């Protein structure tokens, strides 16, 4: 084992190249620290988002939405996968150089595990190194969850959200899970021409959304040829050279469905299993998530954790905000914390995309709040021509507003450009803007944003 690196004594070790970790590594290095960043695979420089998550999947979604005559579906899919690969390779190289080009950063490719509170070992292809630093930051992210279902191991015709991206375009696909990941992949493969069936164990898919919003999503999925079966409890998966078969029950009645491929989309779990957290005295939860305080400190002094590995909201932009919190703690006045976050939006990139921020109507009513709502189908919004211009007027817009002080409690936007408009709504909520103030803003025309003028004018 080697105990020193070519960079000399280290100030900080970052384990994992996620958004928060890589950004913080650069900030600390530019502030004069000697930093090592460890990534287990050269194919993951830059983290999940640019390699197997947000960017590549959204590239596939974009290409699935392009309707080009005269190209077989399989060729269209292969072209999309190639473009995806070219894009991720470009971004991966850029992310690598952003840190590797800094003289005070040591980049290591290998698997890290703790040997003590301030020390790790790194197994590379050539050797095993031992490193220590005054500070260690864990940013290993999350990985697809594999359920305890017979035959659910990934391989052959059974895929997770990573392997399905390079599988041959299936003529038929079964998606196990009707959550956000399952819905996105059902939408993309449906538009590429696959016959998709979603098996969801809940009463309905997207159970965290209001029923009217979820219904609109389901309608658009059905437009793409997707079938959703609710209350479906999967009991087993089998495969042979010709197909994969999923066994499930609905209301106690056993059923089976066969397809070219199966996608298991049942969420993601924190990637901590190989870190040997116990050696450093780092507390973790039932799902392996690292327990942190509002300043992202773990139970081990000098050890911090950022992003998905903490078990919170699994969004790249939350990981980036984790970087802001910790950078403020280490390099600033230390006043910023995760408790400062309000109105954090998200988008499900089905077609058209569904974006939401704050409380749903169901959530607001369960809290006993006095509310007003405004709901309108996009096709019925007269002052919103852009979706009609681009040829997709489907969707729904819904606002939930406090009836006592006119504060926006939440919004669900499903329409063309919703992933952009939701950021404006979230900003208005953070700034305490009343619904009537947002309603009366001046927006460009023709745009999707101007729907806010009309929809907020119908609050009841």
HEC per residue, 4-15 = CCCCCCEEEEEE
Q: So what's the pLDDT on residue 427?
A: 98
- The verdict on whether 159 is a catalytic residue reads no
Q: So what's the pLDDT on residue 4?
A: 42
In tens, the pLDDT along 238-266 reads: 999 999 999 999 999 999 999 999 999 99
- 94 annotated as belonging to a binding site for a ligand: no
Q: So what's the pLDDT on residue 8?
A: 55
- 177 annotated as belonging to a binding site for a ligand: yes
- Using DSSP bridges, classify how beta strands 105-109 and 35-39 pair: parallel, antiparallel or unpaired: parallel
Domain membership flag for residue 121: yes
Bin 288: left if φ > 0, else alpha if -120 < ψ < 50, else beta. left
Whether residue 351 sits in one domain with residue 327: no
Helix axes 54-64, 180-191, angle to 10 degrees: 40
- 440 annotated as belonging to a binding site for a ligand: no
Whether residue 121 sits in one domain with residue 36: yes
In tens, the pLDDT along 395-427 reads: 999 999 999 999 999 999 999 999 999 999 999
- Using DSSP bridges, classify how beta strands 354-358 and 10-15 pair: parallel, antiparallel or unpaired: unpaired
For the domain that residue 121 is a member of, what is the CATH number?
Answer: 3.50.50.60
Q: So what's the pLDDT on residue 3?
A: 39
Beta bridge partners of 410: 358, 400
Whether residue 116 sits in one domain with residue 19: yes
- 46 annotated as belonging to a binding site for a ligand: no
Distance CA 451, CA 124 (A): 54
Q: What are phi and psi of 140, to 5 degrees?
A: -85, -5
Beta bridge partners of 143: 269
Q: So what's the pLDDT on residue 7?
A: 42
In tens, the pLDDT along 7-43 reads: 458 999 999 999 999 999 999 999 999 999 999 999 9
Whether residue 77 sits in one domain with residue 183: no
In the chain, the number of structural domains is 3
- 281 annotated as belonging to a binding site for a ligand: no
Total length of the chain? 460
Final residue in a domain of this structure, among 237, 266, 295:
266
- 65 annotated as belonging to a binding site for a ligand: no
End-to-end CA distance of the chain: 69
Whether residue 281 sits in one domain with residue 257: no
pLDDT averaged over the chain? 95
**pLDDT beyond 80 at 5:** no
Of 62-76, 101-115, 215-229, 273-287, least confident by mean pLDDT is 62-76
In tens, the pLDDT along 337-365 reads: 999 999 999 999 999 999 999 999 999 99
Distance CA 160, CA 241 (A): 19
Q: So what's the pLDDT on residue 460?
A: 83
Whether residue 175 sits in one domain with residue 30: no
Q: What are phi and psi of 73, to 5 degrees?
A: -55, -40
Whether residue 394 sits in one domain with residue 280: no
- 183 annotated as belonging to a binding site for a ligand: yes
Q: So what's the pLDDT on residue 67?
A: 84
Reference 263, options 244, 287, 241, 240; nearest CA is 244
In tens, the pLDDT along 132-180 reads: 999 999 999 999 998 999 999 999 999 999 999 999 999 999 999 999 9
Confidence category of residue 450, pLDDT binned at 50, 70, 90: very high
Range of the domain at 416: 346-456
Q: So what's the pLDDT on residue 70?
A: 87
Final residue in a domain of this structure, among 228, 243, 266:
266
How remote is the C-alpha of 81 from its chain's centroid?
Answer: 20
DSSP string covering 212-265? HHHHHHHHHHHHTTEEEE-SEEEEEEEE-SS-EEEEEEETTEEEEEEESEEEE-
Active-site position among 62, 159, 323, 445: 445
Q: So what's the pLDDT on residue 397?
A: 98
- 16 annotated as belonging to a binding site for a ligand: no
For the domain that residue 380 is a member of, what is the CATH number?
Answer: 3.30.390.30
Q: So what's the pLDDT on residue 133?
A: 97
Domain membership flag for residue 4: no
Burial class (CB in 10 A: 0-12, 13-18, 19+), 223: middle
Domain membership flag for residue 329: yes
Confidence category of residue 68, pLDDT binned at 50, 70, 90: confident
Domain membership flag for residue 1: no
Cβ 222 vs Cβ 195: under 8 Å: no
- 8 annotated as belonging to a binding site for a ligand: no
Q: How far is CA 58 from CA 80, 159, 299, 392, in A?
A: 11, 18, 37, 18
Distance CA 131, CA 30 (A): 21
Whether residue 260 sits in one domain with residue 181: yes
Whether residue 116 sits in one domain with residue 84: yes
In tens, the pLDDT along 306-316 reads: 999 999 989 99
Cβ 13 vs Cβ 131: under 8 Å: yes
Q: So what's the pLDDT on residue 6?
A: 44
Whether residue 277 sits in one domain with residue 133: yes
Whether residue 360 sits in one domain with residue 334: no
């Amino acid at each position: 084992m080697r105990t020193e690196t070519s960079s000399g004594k280290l100030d900080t070790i970052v384990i994992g190249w996620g958004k928060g970790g890589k950004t913080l590594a650069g900030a600390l290095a530019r502030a004069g620290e000697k930093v090592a960043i460890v990534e287990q695979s050269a194919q993951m420089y830059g983290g999940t988002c640019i390699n197997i998550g947000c960017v590549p999947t959204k590239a596939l979604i974009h290409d699935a939405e392009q309707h080009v005559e005269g190209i077989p579906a399989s060729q269209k899919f292969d072209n999309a996968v190639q473009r995806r690969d070219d894009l991720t390779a470009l971004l991966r190289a850029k992310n690598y150089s952003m840190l590797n080009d800094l003289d005070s950063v040591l980049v290591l490719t290998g698997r890290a595990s703790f040997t003590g509170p301030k020390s790790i070992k790194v197994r590379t292809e050539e050797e095993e190194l031992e490193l220590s630093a005054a500070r260690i930051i864990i940013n290993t992210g999350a990985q697809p969850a594999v359920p305890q279902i017979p035959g659910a191991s990934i391989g052959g015709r059974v895929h997770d959200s990573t392997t399905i991206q390079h599988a041959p375009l299936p003529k038929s696909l079964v998606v196990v899970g009707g959550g956000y990941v399952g819905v996105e992949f059902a939408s993309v493969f449906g538009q590429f021409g696959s016959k998709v069936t979603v098996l969801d164990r809940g009463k309905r898919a997207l159970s965290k959304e209001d029923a009217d919003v979820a219904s609109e999503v389901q309608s658009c999925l059905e437009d793409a040829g997707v079938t959703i079966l609710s209350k479906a409890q999967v009991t087993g998966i089998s495969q042979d050279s010709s197909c994969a078969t999923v066994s499930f029950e609905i209301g106690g009645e056993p059923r089976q469905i066969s397809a070219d491929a199966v996608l298991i989309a049942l969420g993601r779990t924190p990637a901590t299993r190989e870190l040997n957290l116990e050696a450093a005295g780092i507390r973790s939860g039932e799902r392996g998530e690292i327990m942190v305080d509002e300043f992202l400190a773990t139970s081990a002094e000098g050890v911090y954790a950022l992003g998905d590995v903490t078990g919170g909201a699994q969004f790249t932009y939350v990981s980036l905000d984790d970087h802001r919190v910790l950078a403020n703690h280490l390099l600033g006045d230390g006043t910023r914390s995760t408790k400062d976050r309000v109105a954090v939006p998200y988008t499900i990139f089905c077609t058209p995309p569904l974006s939401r921020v704050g409380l749903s109507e169901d959530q607001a009513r369960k809290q006993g709040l006095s509310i007003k709502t405004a709901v309108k189908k996009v096709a019925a919004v007269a002052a919103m021509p852009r979706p009609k211009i681009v040829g997709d007027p489907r969707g729904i817009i819904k606002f939930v507003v406090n009836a006592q002080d006119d504060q926006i409690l939440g919004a669900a936007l499903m329409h063309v450009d919703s992933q952009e408009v939701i950021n404006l709504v979230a900003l208005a909520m953070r700034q305490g803007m009343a619904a009537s103030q947002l309603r009366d803003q001046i927006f460009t025309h023709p745009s999707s944003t101007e729907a806010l003028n009309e929809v907020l004018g119908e609050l009841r």
